Structures are given as structure tokens and as C-alpha cells.
Amino acid sequence: MKTTQLQLTLLTIMLGWIASSIGHAQSTIDATNKYAYGANTGWINFRHNTPTSPAGISVQGSFLTGFAYAANTGWINFGTTPTNGHTFSNTGSDFGVNQDGAGNLSGFAYSANTGWINFGWAVVSNPDRPRFDLVTGNFAGFAYSANTGWVNLGSGYLQTDTISRPDSDGDGIADAWERLHFLNLTAANASSDFDKDGSSDLSEYLADTNPKNLSDYLRVTFQSFAAAYTQTTMTFTSKPTRVYRLEHSPNLNHPWTNSSLGTFAPDGGTTTTRNFNFPSDSRRFFRACAQLPLQ
């Protein structure tokens, strides 16, 4: 290829991880937007300041922990740590509220004064299901208690600023994700590649692909260009549990520039398609980046 011709190269890279040191005891709920509401419970504080103990609600990568508080109901227990390290079974003492990674909630919270509060009453397609948005952190939908009725999470005053992802062995992979896929914290690390697909187990975690399936990894599957080579359409594999960026650069030694799309949620299904403009150059590189939500 002559140097005067436009040289276009696809590069798929998983980025966006910052090691999280937030422990279970620290609430992730916004200091101002911290309330749900029930007609029979009144306002429920997910990040109570008084009293200071027990801990407020912390949104984890696959479950919630901590206690909410309402003057009319007292403490509401959302769970501590699942027995298996990643998901509450909601049998016996192993109870709590799960989240599926895409922000959809299920399972049960418990209050001694109200009994069980059901977060898993609705299917994922139900618009009133309890959930939070992976981009904004805003909660929506309803939980239900037989003794108190509906609890509105979408009152406009409940938001999580972050998702906590404890990583006790410091390998860049959240403990809960490691236990889900490998049952322990020793089988995977930043350089291992269990399925030998060329994507490290750390990269599989960042993209939330299956580290035991060699055909499941983040990649660009299609790209086309407008006639002037200043606009491209890209299709890449995606997961509902991650957010994405599309970036470009004139060369691999130059800083990457985020597209005008910013950070965005993926399309439904297994792939996402976007188009964006870029400067006219003799050469331009592109990459799709998976990013942990609310990091």
C-alpha cells in the first residue's frame, strides 16, 4: 500500500478498569439522592447517616449489601455476602438482593418489622421491574412487600454513584466474577488465558465475556467507511453488563481520541453498531473499548 493511500486498521482492546478498593462497609449510594418511597413505609434511606451503624447500601457487581433505614419500619437488611461469593441463593440464611450485572434486581430484603421485600417479582422485560441504570446510576421500578405494599425505587431520589467490585487478591479481576467463573481466586489472574482464545482472563472480565468459551471475546465484526473516509460504521460484540467507547488515533504511538459518542450503553442482542466521524488522514486506527459501568 502506498503511503498516500488511506491506511485503515482495526484494533480491538479492552480498557476502562481501575482497581476498586471499596469495601462492603462503604455505601455507594449518592449522598443526596438516597431515598426510596412507600405509601405505607414512608421514605427509606439507603445511605443513612444517623445512626451510623450498620452500614448503608453498597451496590456490588452482582449483589447488594448493607442496610436501609425507614423511621416507620426500622432497619431493612439487603444481605451481607453470598455463601458462594457471587449470588444469593435466597434459601435459608443465604438471602439478599442480587443484581444481574445489567442493573436488574432480584431476591429479597428483610425487615423484622415488615417481613420480606421482594425484588424479584417481575421478568426483565417488565417496565416496572426494580433496577438501576448502568450509565446514570438512577434507580427505577418497584419492590413489593406483602405487609407494606409497593416500594417505589424510581421516585427520582435514589442513585448509586458507583458499583463496588472488591478485588482481594489484586489481580484486576473482581472477586465475585472470579468465583462465578472459576469458583476460587487462584485459577485466573491478569496474564492467564483459560480458554486459549488470545484474550486474557483479565480482558474477558473487563468485557464480561466467557473465559471458558474460546469463541466469546470482544471483537469488531464489521466496519465500513463513507466515500470521503471521514466517517465509519462499526459493529462489535457487546454485553448488556458493560458500557462502551469507540476510539481512534492516527498512529499507535499517539494518544487515543474518544469518538463524539462518548460512553454509551450497548444495543440489545449480542452486537452493537455505531457510526461516527473522524479526521481525514493518510492512516487511522480504531478500537472498541469495553468499560466497567459506574467505575
20-64 per-position pLDDT tens digit: 333 345 899 999 999 999 999 999 999 997 656 788 999 999 999
| 13 has a pLDDT exceeding 70 | no
Mean pLDDT across 155-176: 97
d(CA 273, CA 289): 13
d(CA 134, CA 138): 8
Predicted local distance difference test score (pLDDT) of residue 25? 56
Taking the mean position of all CA atoms in its chain, how far away is CA 106? 15
> Mean pLDDT of all residues in the chain?
91
Q: Are residues 42 and 120 part of one domain? A: yes
d(CA 171, CA 282): 39
Q: Are residues 188 and 91 part of one domain? A: no
Cross-strand partners of 8: 284
Q: Are residues 238 and 207 part of one domain? A: yes
| 186 has a pLDDT exceeding 60 | yes
Mean pLDDT across 68-97: 96
Q: Are residues 33 and 7 part of one domain? A: no
Q: Are residues 282 and 207 part of one domain? A: yes
d(CA 69, CA 67): 7
Predicted local distance difference test score (pLDDT) of residue 106? 98
Taking the mean position of all CA atoms in its chain, how far away is CA 88? 17
Predicted local distance difference test score (pLDDT) of residue 290? 97
Q: How many separate helices (H) and strands (E) can be counted in the chain?
A: 2, 21
Domain that holds residue 57: 29-160
d(CA 86, CA 90): 12
d(CA 13, CA 275): 18
Q: Are residues 266 and 210 part of one domain? A: yes
Q: Are residues 128 and 95 part of one domain? A: yes
Lowest mean pLDDT among 2-11, 227-236, 238-247, 276-285: 2-11
Look up residue 292 and give its three cell numbers.
Answer: 466497567
Is this structure's pTM higher than 0.85? yes
Q: Are residues 34 and 156 part of one domain? A: yes
Within 8 A by CB and 6+ apart from 202, the residues are 17, 171, 172, 173, 188, 189, 190, 191
Q: Are residues 256 and 212 part of one domain? A: yes
Q: Is 62 helix (H, G, I), strand (E, B) or coil?
A: coil
Q: Are residues 267 and 207 part of one domain? A: yes
CB 28 within 8 A of CB 295: no
Q: What percent of the chain has pLDDT over 70?
A: 91
Q: Of the candidates 107, 127, 160, which is a domain's last residue?
A: 160
Mean pLDDT across 182-195: 97
Q: Of the candidates 141, 160, 179, which is a domain's last residue?
A: 160
Quote the number of domains for the chain.
2
The size of the chain, in residues, is 295
Predicted local distance difference test score (pLDDT) of residue 52? 65
Q: Are residues 108 and 15 part of one domain? A: no
Q: Are residues 265 and 199 part of one domain? A: yes
Taking only the tens place, the pLDDT of each residue in 199-256 is 999 999 999 999 999 999 999 999 999 988 999 999 999 999 999 999 999 999 889 9
Which residue has 431493612 as its cell numbers? 76
Q: Of the candidates 108, 130, 160, which is a domain's last residue?
A: 160
Within 8 A by CB and 6+ apart from 237, the residues are 209, 216, 217, 218, 219, 221, 270, 271
| 17 has a pLDDT exceeding 50 | no
263 or 282, higher pLDDT:
263
Predicted local distance difference test score (pLDDT) of residue 8? 38
